[in-house]
Amino acid sequence: MSGLATALPFLHRHIFHPTDFTQASQTAFIHALKLALVMQTRLSIMHVDPDVAQEHFEDFPRVRPILTQWSLLPNGSSKEAVTSLGIQIKKIRAVGDDPAQAIVHHLEFHPADLLVLGIEQRTGLDRWLHKPVAEPIARGAHLPTLFVPSHVEGFVSARDGTIRLRRILIPVEQAETAQRAIDTATVTAEVLGSMALDMQLVHVGGDPMPPVQLHERPGWNWHQDHCQGNVVDWIIGMGAEYDVDLIVMATEGHHGWTDALRGSTTERVVREARCPVLSVPAG
């Protein structure tokens, strides 16, 4: 795995989770906390307040009750007991009218290796009336980002912290970007301990599927589909048809004014996916 790990520098360093204290953020927080535990790393939780940054952190996601519920800590454990699990938790408050801008600015001075963002999937007029936050953060930070939709449980159970990762969907476009997504999906599945797994590759377009290296593991099955039509529709449709637990995509950001209005392919998938989406910058 050592050769693949270079694609995932966040494996052993710093996970960053912005929160607005809503249910959308809570589901993402559960994933951020579990990833920090599995990877034995640091987790920073940040909230941006438009008025005055309070000194207390009582309204932040509660870490110890969740770890107790997951049978990792006994009742009444101290804050110091959390570090005995191999993780470090840091809570950050900031003042700002634009949460996305404030978070990107913070990351410039306090770099992270993985973002875990909750997202409320709005469509039509509702989307135009509500200013998005998650997408500008991911775009500005240019980091690997796990988007967790608010209306799904995801691959981490909030009840007991167990991981359910059985199927991963990987859109394939160009060879280089596709290989980065495949490597990322492979290492992620290995780190999360997925023993029985279906990896589904999908290539949309008239060109043949580009040559890629598939990483064989006992209990893993690789499948390939070649389709014609709208790439976003195919990704969302196949994600639903195969009941995937995670979509892994390499993204190159925006290209031209059309993407600026509608969003990149990854952003459009994130808005409609029925499971978490792990976006990895191609460059």
The DSSP secondary-structure symbol of 282 reads -
What integer pLDDT is reported at residue 266 of this predicted model?
87
Answer whether CATH 3.40.50.150 is correct for domain 167-281.
no
Per DSSP, the three-state class of 27 is helix
Please tell me which residue, 123 or 244, carries the higher pLDDT value: 244
Distance CA 127, CA 266 (A): 17
Domains 2-149 and 167-281 share a fold: yes
Closest by CA to 103, choosing from 139, 129, 131, 127, is: 139
**152 φ, ψ to 5°?**
-120, 155
What integer pLDDT is reported at residue 252 of this predicted model?
73
- Mean pLDDT on 38-49: 92
Residue pair 16/112 in contact (Cβ under 8 Å)? The answer is: yes
What integer pLDDT is reported at residue 191 of this predicted model?
92
Please tell me which residue, 56 or 106, carries the higher pLDDT value: 106
**pLDDT beyond 60 at 270:** yes
State the pairing for strand pair 14-18/114-119: parallel
What integer pLDDT is reported at residue 132 of this predicted model?
61
What integer pLDDT is reported at residue 11 of this predicted model?
59
What integer pLDDT is reported at residue 256 of this predicted model?
38
Distance CA 89, CA 141 (A): 21
Domain segments of the chain as ranges: 2-149, 167-281
What is the number of other CB atoms lying within 10 angstroms of the CB of residue 71? 9
**pLDDT beyond 70 at 69:** yes
* pLDDT band per the 50, 70, 90 thresholds, residue 265: confident
Residue pair 166/193 in contact (Cβ under 8 Å)? The answer is: no
What integer pLDDT is reported at residue 107 of this predicted model?
94
**pLDDT beyond 90 at 54:** no
Global pTM reads 0.88
CATH architecture, range 2-149 = 3-Layer(aba) Sandwich (3.40)
> What integer best gives the mean pLDDT of the chain?
85
What integer pLDDT is reported at residue 125 of this predicted model?
35
- Where b means 16+ CB within 10 Å and e means fewer, 99-115 reads bbebbbebbeeeebbbb
Closest by CA to 181, choosing from 193, 190, 169, is: 169
Residue pair 194/215 in contact (Cβ under 8 Å)? The answer is: no
Cα torsion 122, 126, 128, 132: sign: negative
**pLDDT beyond 60 at 31:** yes
**pLDDT beyond 60 at 6:** no
Helices within 7-77 (DSSP H only): 23-39, 63-69
* pLDDT band per the 50, 70, 90 thresholds, residue 25: confident
* pLDDT band per the 50, 70, 90 thresholds, residue 23: confident
**Percent of the chain at pLDDT exceeding 90:** 57
Side-chain half-sphere CA neighbours of 41 within 13 A: 21
* pLDDT band per the 50, 70, 90 thresholds, residue 62: confident
**pLDDT beyond 70 at 7:** no
- Cα 193–chain centre separation: 17
Per DSSP, the three-state class of 269 is helix
Q: What tokens were used for 15? A: 């996970």
Contacts of 83 (CB under 8 A, 6+ apart): none
Cα torsion 270, 138, 116, 163: sign: positive
> Could you report the per-residue pLDDT of 173-232, keeping only the tens digit for each?
887 888 999 999 999 999 999 999 999 999 988 788 889 999 999 999 999 999 888 889
* pLDDT band per the 50, 70, 90 thresholds, residue 162: very high
Token pair 């951020």 in the structure block, residue = 32
Cα torsion 100, 102, 103, 108: sign: positive
Maximum Cα–Cα distance for the chain, whole Å? 60
What integer pLDDT is reported at residue 53 of this predicted model?
55
**pLDDT beyond 50 at 1:** no
**pLDDT beyond 50 at 257:** no
Indicate the length of the chain as a whole number: 283
Per DSSP (E only), the strands in 205-276 are: 220-227, 246-251
